[in-house]
Structure formats: C-alpha cells, structure tokens
Amino acid sequence: MNNECVSETVGDYVVVRLRGEVDLSWSQQVRRAILAALGATGKVGVEMSEVSYIDSSGIAALVEGLQNARSKGQQFGLVGVSKAVMAVLQLARLDRVFPIFPDLDAARAG
Amino acid sequence: MPDGADERRALDFLAELIQALALSTDLRKTLPMALGRIADFMQAEAASLFLVDPVSGLIECRLCVGPVDIVGLKLEVGQGIIGRAVAQNTTQIVRDAQTDARVNVRVDAETGFVTRSIICVPLTTGEGPIGAIEVINRRGGGLFEIEDAVLLETVAAPAALAINNARLVDSLVEQQRIRRELDLARRMQKMLLPKRRRGKFPLIGINLPAHEISGDFYDYFDLPDGRIAFVIGDISGKGLDAAFLMVRVASLLRWSGKDGLAPAQWLARANNESCQTLNEGRFVCALVGQYDSNDGSVVFASAGFPPALLQNAKGFDSFLADGPPLGILPNIEYSERRLTLGDDALYFFSDGAIDARVAGQARIGNEGLRDMIARHTGLAPEPRLRALIGDLKRMQLADDTTVLLLQEPRGAAAQILLDLPFPARAEQLRVVRARLREALDAQGVGPELRDRLVLAVDEACTNIIRHAYCGNCDDTITLRLTRERDMLAFELRDKAPAVDPGKITSRDLGDCRPGGLGVPFIRALMDDWQLEPGTDGKGNVLRMRKRLHSDGDTETNT
C-alpha cells in the first residue's frame, strides 16, 4: 500500500484521506494538509480506514489539527479509523479526545 | 602628641610593614624581621610576639627581640599583662611595672632584667584574638605614653592579618592532605571488595559509601568443595573507626568461613571472635551463606542483618535475621535458611538502602525496595543491579549502602533474530518496520503485541534520527533483536554525539498536546528500557526489553 494524502471537498466538508503508513518520513506533509483544510473550511475530517500504521509524529499532526480547530470553533473529527490507528490512539489515551465517526456521512452529520 | 614629622614617619613605617607582611611567602622569616622593626620603631628595649595554641589553649611566646630570650614561655589566658590583653581583647598599658600588680615579675627575678614600662596589644581577628604583641621599656629610660599604644595597635593589625592568613592557608593544606588520605583509604577499602567475576558467576555486589569511606562490605570466595561462599556486613556507626573495623571484620569473616563451615556455625564462630576483639558498644550486622551451582541450593544465616529478599515469579518472600548482630554476646546459636534458588533472585541490602529516602519523604523501606526491584525485573542481573543503584543514587543516602545479588545467570546464549544496519533516514523506517514484523512473526509473537513492539522500535528510531542525529543523515543505526528464553531484547546503536539520558523529555500519556509521545510509548510498550553511551564512548545504545508470555502474546499494558 503506497502512502497517500488527498484532500476532497464534499459540500462544506473537507475530508483528508490518508493511506499507507504514517511515519516521520511524511507526517509533516499530513500536518500541512490538515492545517490547509482547516484554513479552507470550518468542517474537517481525516479519513483513516486505509492507514495500516501511524507513529507519534502522525498522532502529533492529528492533535495539532484538533487543537487548531477547537481554538477557532471549527469541527474536526476522525473518520473510519482503522484497527491499527485505534490501537495507537488508545495507547496515547486520545481515543476519547477525538470525535470519531464510522463513515463520512456520520461525520458530515456531525 | 606626635607632630607632623612623627605622623609621616609612622605612616611610612606602617606602609613598609604592611607591604613586607603582605608580600611575605614565608612568615617564619618575615615575622622576626617585622618584630625587630617594630621594636626599633617603638624605641623599645624588648619586644615579643605571643600566639594562642589552638590545641592547648595556652599563650606561647613564639618570637622575641631584646636581651632576654623568652621564646617558648607559656602563659594561661588571663595570666599577666599578655594573658589579660588576649582574654579581654584590649590594649594593656603599664607605666610603672614595679608597682603594677598585673605584671608578672617572675621573669625579671630569674633574668635580672628590669621591666619598667609595658604596652601590650592583642592580635585581633574576626574570630577573636589569636595572640598579642608586647613592647617593653622605652630606650633611654622614658615611659610609654598613650600615643605609643595607639601606634602599636596600628602596627599589630597587619601582623594579625598576615598570621591569620597563614594559619588559614595551613589549615587548607591540612584539609587537602586529609582529603588525599581519605581518598587513599577509600581506594584501599575498595580493593578489599572482591573483583567482579567475568563470565557466568551468580553473585554481584555493589557498595556505595555515604562518605569517603564505608563501614559496609561484601565478599565472595570459592570453597574447596566447589560451592561459593558469600558475606555481606555492616559495621555499626560511621566514619574512620567503623571503616577500620570493617577491614578487620571482613577478614575475620573470610577466615572463619574458608573451610565451608555451615552458615550457622560460621556466624557463631565469627561472633565469639568478635566479642573478644570489638570495642564496647560496637557490633556488626552480617549475613553469610553458601551457594551450590550444581543443584541451585543456597543456605544462609543472618546476624541482625536486614531481611533478605527473594524474588520469584509469584512476588517476594523475605527472610528475617536468624540471631542478634555479631560482637554483642558470646555463645549465641544461630539458625539457618535453606532454599532452592532455581531462576529466582535473592537480594541482600544493607540498611542504608532501606533508609534511603526521596527528598522530604519517608524512608523507602522494604516495600520501596521491592517496588524498585519490580520495576527492573526484565533486566539481566548486572544491568538490573546497576539500575537499582542508579535509583538509589538519585535518593538521599544517609548511610553506606550495599547490595549483594545472588542469581543463577541465564543458561542459553541469546539468539540473534535480526541484525539490521540502516541509514538514519525517516524513509528507511518503513523497511525497518517490515523486517521487524517478519522477525517477530517468525517467533510466533501475536499480531497485537507485534504491532506494539514495532511501534516502540519505530518511535525509538524516530527519536534517534530527530534528536541524536538532529535530522536525516547517512550515518548508521543498527537494530539488533535477540531472544533469550522468553525475553526479547531490542538494541539500537547509533554513532551520534552522546545523548544525556537525563535530558530526554517525556510527558504523561493523557496530557493532550502534539509531540513528546515517543518516550511514553516506549515506556508503555516495553518492560524496561535504558540509554547508555556506546562502547568505546562513541554513540549511544538504547536497550529495550519485553518478556513474552507463554501464549506468545501479552496482557494489555496501557
């Protein structure tokens, strides 16, 4: 599975789709994509069903996105979180900090 | 009153005197010269300098000029003019010595010298008078006046300063000499402790003296029948005499145990010997024992030594002393303990360890020691002992602290599962993770634990790249995975500048902010980890360990 980070706009919602293994080699790219999405709209979700691995630098990018959104009253959530990602979120005790949605429809409904 | 010319003469003299004293590198030469000049300046027939001997408390004449040599004359503080000057820290003036009750006329009577008039001023320092300068009889028969006393006080000040400085220098030199000697004593004591044995040897000891020298000791030695005898002891009291006693008792215990006498008899023999040789009020807490590597049996007996701690798979057992300390009452009978060690670890701590405390808190006690041991269970005996000592060193140790650990070294050599050097670049990590997953799968490690271990190793690599190498570079990181029975060991070696383990930042999980998660992840996922300088002092070695449970997977560890 190749690493990929693509942003799509669905109505007033921007979804940042991640694929592959999020690690130090490109977590900065992920971070920039999330911050750019938050700059473009008030509702952002990070879709992670195809993410097979995430390290602490990837988690840091997600945390930064959440804090950024909160400070401006924006919506920020994680969508379709894979088992691998959930395990790391639980380890970091962040599984109850992020709004987590099973799919895009649920995320858009907020 | 002195006129202008007198004043100038006094100032010139004073300047010269101060300079001579200040520049002096050897007061034993400068002071006699200065005293002669003072006598001349004061137009005195005789002058003398007395100093208080700090040991005897007597005032002794150290220098004199004039017709009668009184060097060595000793006076009580308060006795005669000089004694009064020192006792009262005030100038004494005697205008007519023959009628003044304060004057001690004994010297006159013995020497035929006739004392007519005296001025005596104390040599004053911040800590009170250290002696006095006295001038006797104005030449030409006149009497000393008040002005002369003022002059003598003025010249006495720089003399007192110079003498006091010299004394401070002397005491500094003395302190350095004592420190050097203590250092030598410490090194000699260290030499008495047994050398660490190379290879598979079941005993390791560490001694941390609270001061330069220690009253604790440990020892181990081979018995003719192949068993290993061991001793740990703690002399009551601290300081030099405890340290000297330690040397004697250590050799007594070795001597009385060298034939392989059963521990209970061994202690009884050492006790009787100690009762004859130890001074009143001194005693020794000691534990002696023997270990047989062939069947893993250990037998030991304790004379007032703190509880021995046995750690096994279920937890801890502790064994209280089997009798009173050595050297108190003769003909004591001790009992002894016998157990099979197997894979268990037996710890002997002197009470310095039990009395250790974190600043402002209660002593850690046996409970604290158990917690401390439990934290490092995953480590092999030697790094575990080092880690324990590291923990203790971070606490306040009021007393000498000694630890002796008895544990059979693990049997089979570690099996190397992965030995992977790679450039310190983030884009390499994906391959490293894939290779590590493969190696862990081959060991039958369950997928959940496997992914956790991969995460911990990846976080460690990330930290090395970011913080040790300060970014991507072509230097190497080597990942080595080994397995020894059910223990997995991950070792990461780099060639980066040494990292100070104390400066590694971390945070609590649950503190929500970006960054700083790597170390908490490693801590949560591994049983233990430690960072050390690389061999030959270059680079760093990060070691992490994880014990596998029988089903190949593990309990959740978050």
Q: Answer whether A64 touches B (CB < 8 Å).
A: yes
pTM for the whole thing?
0.47
What is d(CA A59, CA A56) in angstroms, rounded to the nearest whole number?
5
Tell me what pLDDT residue A66 has: 94
Give me the DSSP letters along B13-40.
Answer: HHHHHHHHHHH-S-HHHHHHHHHHHHHH
Query: How does residue B517 score in pLDDT terms, banded at 50, 70 and 90?
Result: confident
Is the CB of residue B85 less than 8 Å from the CB of residue B122? yes
- Across the interface, of B454, B466, B524, the residue whose CB is closest to A91 is B524
Q: Do A91 and B465 touch (CB under 8 A)?
A: no
Structural domain range at position A102: 4-109
| Residues contacting A84, CB < 8 A, separation 6+ | A51, A52, A53, A54, B451
Residues B455-482 have pLDDT tens digits of: 999 999 999 999 889 988 989 999 999 9
The answer to whether B448 contacts A87, with C-beta atoms less than 8 Å apart, is yes
* Residues in chain B within 8 Å Cβ distance of A23: 426, 429-430, 433, 458, 462
Who wins on pLDDT, B433 or B208?
B433
Domains of chain B, residue spans? 4-170, 195-406, 415-547
Nearest CA in chain B to A3: B430
Query: A56 and B430: CB-CB below 8 Å?
Result: no
Tell me the residue ranges of DSSP E strands in A1-110. 4-10, 13-22, 43-54, 75-79, 100-101
Question: CA of A2: which chain B residue's CA is closest?
Answer: B430
Average pLDDT over residues B175-188: 77
Nearest 5°: CA angle at B389, between B384 and B391?
95
Q: How many domains does chain A have?
A: 1
Q: What is the pLDDT along chain A (110 residues), one digit of tens a residue?
A: 689 999 999 889 999 999 999 999 999 999 999 999 999 999 999 999 999 999 999 999 999 999 999 999 999 999 999 999 999 999 888 999 999 999 999 999 87
The pLDDT value given to residue B558: 35
Rg (CA), chain B: 37
Q: What is the pLDDT of residue B513?
A: 57
Can you give the pLDDT at residue B247?
83
Looking at domain B415-547, its CATH architecture is 2-Layer Sandwich (3.30)
Whole-angstrom distance, CA of residue B12 vs CA of residue B6: 10
Q: Round to whole Å and give the CA distance between A53 and A33.
A: 18
CA distance B154 to B146: 13
The answer to whether residue B49 scores a pLDDT higher than 90 is yes
A28 touches chain B (CB under 8 A): no
Q: Is the pLDDT of residue B320 over 70?
A: yes
pLDDT of residue A2: 87
Does the pLDDT of residue B339 top 80, yes or no? yes
Q: Count of CB atoms within 10 A of residue B206's CB?
A: 18
- B455–A24: do the CB atoms touch at under 8 Å? no
Kindly report which listed range (B235-239, B372-376, B463-467) carries the lowest average pLDDT score.
Answer: B235-239
Token digits for B37? 């000049």
Higher pLDDT, B483 or B503: B483
Reduced to 3 states, what is the DSSP secondary structure of residue B361? Answer: coil
pLDDT at B487: 85
Q: Which chain A residues in 82-101 lie under 8 Å from chain B, judged by CB atoms?
A: 84, 87-88, 90-94, 97
Side by side, the strands of the sheet bearing B401-406 are B203-208, B401-406, B345-349, B308-312, B315-319
Cα B311 to Cα B38, B345, B369, B371, B403, distances in angstroms: 79, 5, 11, 11, 14
Q: What torsion do the CA atoms of B555, B316, B343, B446 make, to the nearest 10 degrees? A: 0
Radius of gyration for the alpha carbons in chain A, expressed in angstroms and rounded = 12
C-alpha to C-alpha distance for B193 and B175, rounded to whole angstroms: 27
Complex ipTM: 0.89
Q: Which residues of B touch A60 (CB under 8 A)?
A: 514-515, 517
Partner A contacted by B38 (CB < 8 A):
no
For residue A81, what are its two tokens?
A: 């979180």
B455, two tokens: 């995460």
Q: How far apart are CA A33 and CA B473, in angstroms?
A: 26
B398 pLDDT above the threshold of 80: no
Q: What is the mean pLDDT of residues B436-453?
A: 94
pLDDT mean across residues, chain B: 85
Which of A91, A93, A97 should be substituted to probe chain B, the one whose Cβ sees the most B Cβ atoms within 10 Å?
A91
Residues of A in contact with B520 (CB under 8 A): 92
Cα gap B548→B483, rounded to integer Å: 10
pLDDT(B507) > 70? no
Give the full edge-to-edge strand order of the sheet including B74-75.
B74-75, B59-65, B44-52, B128-138, B118-125, B92-94
Residues in chain A with CB shorter than 8 Å from the CB of B506 are none
- Closest chain A residue to the Cα of B457, Cα to Cα: A55
| For residue B506, pLDDT beyond 70 | no
Fold adopted by B195-406 = Phosphatase 2c; domain 1 (3.60.40)
CATH number, residue A72: 3.30.750.24
Task: Report H helices in B407-552.
Answer: 429-442, 447-463, 518-525
A25·B430 Cβ contact <8 A: yes
Confidence of residue B511 (pLDDT cuts 50, 70, 90): low
At B194, the amino acid letter reads P
Q: Which residues of B529-548 are buried (b: 16+ CB within 10 A; e: fewer)?
A: bbbeeeeeeebbbbbbbbeb
Q: Name chain B contacts of A51, Cβ cutoff 8 Å.
A: none
Interchain CB distance below 8 Å, A21 and B459:
no
| C-alpha to C-alpha distance for A17 and A15, rounded to whole angstroms | 6
pLDDT of residue B1: 43
Please tell me which of the candidates B426, B448, B455 has its beta carbon nearest to residue A24.
B426
Interface contact B553, partner A, CB < 8 A? no
- Residue B436: pLDDT above 70? yes
Contact pairs from chain A to chain B, CB under 8 Å: 69
Quick check: B174 pLDDT over 50? yes
Q: In this complex, do A60 and B515 lie within 8 Å of one another by their Cβ atoms? A: yes
Chain B closest CA to A90's CA: distance in Å? 8
Chain B within 8 Å of A21 (Cβ-Cβ)?
A: yes
pLDDT at B144: 87
Check residues B390 and B419 and name the one with the higher pLDDT: B419
Average pLDDT over residues B152-167: 85
B427 close contact with A: CB closer than 8 A: yes
Q: Dihedral of CA B336/B342/B348/B349: which sign?
A: negative
Domain B4-170, architecture per CATH:
2-Layer Sandwich (3.30)
> Look-up: residue for tokens 């300060």?
B470
Taking contacts as CB-CB distances below 8 angstroms, the residues of chain B near A25 are: 425-427, 429-430
pLDDT at residue B412, rounded to an integer:
53
CB contact at 8 A, A44 and A69 = yes
B433 touches chain A (CB under 8 A): yes
Measured between CB atoms, does B414 come within 8 Å of chain A? no
Phi, psi of B202 (to 5 degrees): -80, -5
On chain A, the residues whose CB falls within 8 A of the CB of B433 are: 21, 23, 53
What pLDDT, on the 0 to 100 scale, is given for residue B552?
41
- Residue from B422, B428, B429 whose CB has the most chain A CBs within 10 Å, to mutate: B429
User: Which amino acid, one-letter code, is at B504?
Assistant: I
B540 membership: H or E segment, kind and range: strand B540-547
- Cβ-nearest to A92 among B426, B427, B517: B517
Confidence of residue B177 (pLDDT cuts 50, 70, 90): confident
- Cα(A1)–Cα(A19) distance, rounded to whole angstroms? 7
Average of per-residue pLDDT across B23-37: 82
A16-20, B388-392, B440-444, range with the lowest pLDDT: B388-392
Q: How far is CA B379 from CA A89, B345, B384, B387, B487, in A?
A: 29, 12, 5, 9, 9
Q: A91, B452: Cβ pair inside 8 Å? A: yes
A55-69, B21-35, B276-290, B368-382: segment of lowest average pLDDT: B21-35
> According to the model, what pLDDT value does residue B2 have?
47
Given a cut of 80, is residue B121 above it in pLDDT? yes
Residue B520 clears pLDDT 50, i.e. is over it: yes
pLDDT of residue B555: 40
pLDDT in the model for residue B553: 44
Residues of B in contact with A64 (CB under 8 A): 514
% residues pLDDT > 70 (chain B): 93
